[in-house]
């Protein structure tokens, strides 16, 4: 931490800060300029909240952190990109992975048909929710364990690994029995007990950014999972709430290169929830590839008009075929393997 004192701070006040730092187990490096005195606190600043302990003193102007508050998630901890393995599929390391499937699992036929069609198009992982986080308690909530069984059937028929959401700690073991990758959704990004429970599993986790959360908060949530020993985490930008009403959310693609600078974890984009509009999904998938994402997760339904959730943002299998063709062209330029 760097502590900047107000102009005119006395020697007594400088000594006071130094003494307080030493009491908290920090070394202090005082640098007296012509107008200001700056004190460098030497020690692990993640251990003590110096903004609270020192920042409140009336003669301290500001306390500036030097280190990111997350550790295991940071580039400093691990310089090389992390690769996460889901079944036989690798996410990261110069690949651009396509994950596709319906918002909700609705029937065996629906999920099996979708799995076969997206696989034919080039998708590598099947998505589909059996436990759905819905704004209204009267909306379709998902088929629960029956949905997981249909997903397992679709995996058996298609050979594609599956990613599906766990809504709470209670159902996590059940979801983990079936899933190759556990999704923690936007609404649960800061459900810290769920993050810790997922961290104790030996299963990859797809952690979606909360619609009202900062990039730093996303990385802190990932830290919860890594801190429990599970380093198999893939991040996902799925759009944040802004004042713009013409799209469901605002897909914050600038966070992708930003996360890449700050963290070694792979990051995907979800242009379906990010825009809420099927007519924007292909363009924003291409933009995600150009921005350096490690893949996209896209909602595909055999008949979007009849979908029980998120129909307006779901692609038909034909539209998904088209998307994959365009992605493959751009991937050549971006030197990514699809």
**Closer by beta carbon to ligand PEP, 48 or else 169:** 169
**Residue nearest ligand PEP, Cβ-based:** 185
Using the rule CB under 6 A, give the single segment among 16-24, 61-69, 173-181, 182-190 that binds ligand PEP. 182-190
273 binding ligand PEP? (CB under 6 A): yes
Structure token pair of residue 150:
């249909």
302 binds, among ligand PEP, Mn ion, none (CB under 5 to 8 A by kind): none
310 binding Mn ion? (CB under 5 A): yes
Place of tokens 């150009």: 290
Considering only 208, 231, 248, 264, the residue that binds ligand PEP (CB under 6 A) is 208
What is the C-alpha to C-alpha distance for residues 249 and 228, in angstroms, rounded to an integer? 31
Neighbour-count burial for 253-286, b at 16+ CB within 10 Å, e otherwise? bebbebbbebbbbbbbbbbbbbbbebebbbebbb
Using the rule CB under 6 A, give the single segment among 116-124, 184-192, 224-232, 313-321 that binds ligand PEP. 184-192
Using the rule CB under 6 A, give the single segment among 25-33, 62-70, 183-191, 217-225 that binds ligand PEP. 183-191
Task: Write down the least CB distance from residue 133 to ligand PEP, Å.
Answer: 5
168 binding ligand PEP? (CB under 6 A): no
Burial of 150 (0-12, 13-18, 19+ CB in 10 A): buried
Residue 4: its H or E element: strand 2-5
What is the radius of gyration, based on Cα positions, of the chain? 23
Strands 181-184 and 97-101: unpaired
248 binding ligand PEP? (CB under 6 A): no
Considering only 103, 125, 267, 293, the residue that binds ligand PEP (CB under 6 A) is 103
165 binding Mn ion? (CB under 5 A): no
238 binding ligand PEP? (CB under 6 A): yes
185 binds, among Mn ion, ligand PEP, none (CB under 5 to 8 A by kind): ligand PEP
By rule CB under 6 A, what count of residues binds ligand PEP? 10
Considering only 98, 181, 186, 327, the residue that binds ligand PEP (CB under 6 A) is 186
Q: How many residues does the chain have?
A: 338
Q: Could you give the count of Cα atoms lying within 13 Å of 266 in the half-sphere of its Cβ?
A: 26
What is the C-alpha to C-alpha distance for residues 320 and 117, in angstroms, rounded to an integer? 9
208 binds, among Mn ion, ligand PEP, none (CB under 5 to 8 A by kind): ligand PEP
186 binds, among Mn ion, ligand PEP, none (CB under 5 to 8 A by kind): ligand PEP
* DSSP secondary structure, 240-265, as one string: B--S--SSSSB--TTHHHHHHHHBSS
**Closer by beta carbon to Mn ion, 102 or else 199:** 102
106 binding Mn ion? (CB under 5 A): no
Strands 37-42 and 60-64: unpaired
Calculate the dihedral angle through the C-alpha atoms of 78, 216, 42, 81, rounding to the nearest 10 degrees. Answer: 10
255 binds, among ligand PEP, Mn ion, none (CB under 5 to 8 A by kind): none
113 binds, among ligand PEP, Mn ion, none (CB under 5 to 8 A by kind): none
DSSP category for residue 313: G
What is the C-alpha to C-alpha distance for residues 186 and 103, in angstroms, rounded to an integer? 14
**Closer by beta carbon to ligand PEP, 164 or else 263:** 164
Q: With the C-alpha atoms ordered 107, 113, 116, 119, is the resulting torsion angle positive or negative?
A: negative
Residues in touch with ligand PEP (CB under 6 A): 103, 129, 133, 185-187, 208, 238, 270, 273
């Amino acid at each position: 931490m760097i502590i900047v004192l107000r102009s005119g701070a006395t020697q007594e006040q400088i000594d006071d800060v130094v003494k307080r730092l030493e009491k908290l187990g920090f070394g202090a490096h005082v640098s007296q300029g012509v107008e200001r005195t700056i004190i460098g606190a030497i020690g692990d600043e993640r251990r003590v909240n110096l903004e609270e302990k020192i920042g409140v003193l009336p003669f301290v102007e500001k306390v500036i952190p030097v280190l990111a508050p997350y550790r295991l998630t940071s580039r400093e901890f691990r310089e090389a990109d992390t690769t996460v393995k889901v079944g036989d599929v690798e996410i990261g390391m110069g690949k651009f992975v396509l994950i596709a499937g319906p918002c909700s699992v609705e029937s065996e036929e629906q999920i099996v048909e979708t799995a076969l069609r997206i696989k034919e198009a080039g998708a590598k992982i099947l998505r589909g929710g059996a436990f759905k986080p819905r704004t209204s308690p009267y909306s379709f909530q998902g088929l629960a364990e029956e949905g997981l069984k249909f997903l397992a059937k679709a995996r058996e028929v298609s050979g594609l690994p599956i990613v599906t959401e766990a809504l709470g700690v209670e159902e996590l073991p059940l979801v983990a029995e079936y899933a190759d990758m556990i999704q923690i959704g936007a609404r649960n990004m800061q459900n810290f007990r769920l993050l810790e429970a997922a961290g104790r599993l030996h299963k990859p986790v797809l952690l979606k950014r909360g619609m009202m959360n900062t990039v730093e908060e996303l990385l802190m949530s990932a830290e919860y999972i890594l801190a429990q020993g599970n380093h198999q985490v893939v991040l996902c930008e799925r759009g944040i709430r802004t004042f713009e009403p013409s799209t469901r959310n605002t897909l914050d693609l600038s966070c992708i290169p930003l996360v890449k600078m700050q963290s070694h974890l792979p990051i995907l984009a979800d242009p379906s929830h990010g825009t809420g509009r099927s007519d924007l999904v292909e363009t924003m998938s291409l933009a995600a590839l150009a921005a350096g994402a490690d893949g996209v997760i896209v909602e595909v339904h055999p008949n979007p008009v009849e979908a029980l959730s998120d129909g307006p943002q779901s692609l038909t299998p034909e539209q998904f075929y088209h998307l994959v063709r365009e992605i493959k062209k751009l991937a050549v330029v971006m030197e990514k393997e699809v």
